[in-house]
Structure 1
């Protein structure tokens, strides 16, 4: 398993062809001005791809109840594990 998550060409929402390496198994904080793409990177790119990979690992029977997920607008993401999220 890689020790970093590599993102190449992220263009989701207001991200403009971002390339980034993020260490795995570390606490990471995205900071910046309002509208700078923090949520687009964290939720709409990284989490969305992890969730899509998780759903792809399920059986076809289980996937039929979850609906389809769009692939984020990104050239490549490597080193990412499947992900789930629980609403509060």
Structure 2
């Protein structure tokens, strides 16, 4: 049952101050709040950045040499983040 959520623990990216969050999977999620409240920091700089980093880590060493090192977001833990299978569709 726990894997029904993406779990963010201790997010401290930019404006975020040790935020814990459980995000339901397979649902439409909307981050709202006043300007500067950390919406983009959570969505892009924490969750998206960690998914991108995990995807890049799954690539071959040869492919990774062209992408550079990606820093981990400032959070205690991000779990049950599924990066999926990426396939080219022509």
Instruction: Please give the root-mean-square deviation of Cα atoms over the aligned residues, in Å.
Output: 1.5
Alpha-carbon distance in 1 for matches of 2:77, 2:65: 26
Contiguous gaps of at least 5 residues in structure 2: none
Output one character per residue of 1:34-71: Cα deviation in whole Å (capped at 9) or x when no partner. 00000000000000000000000000000001111100
Q: After the TM superposition, list the runs of 4 or more consecutive aligned residues in structure 1 that deviate by more than 2 angstroms.
A: none
Paired positions, count: 84
Alpha-carbon distance in 1 for matches of 2:7, 2:82: 12
Question: Who wins on radius of gyration, i.e. which is larger?
Answer: 2
Contiguous gaps of at least 5 residues in structure 1: none
Scaled by the length of structure 1, the TM-score of the pair is: 0.91
Cα drift, residue 82 of structure 1: 2.1
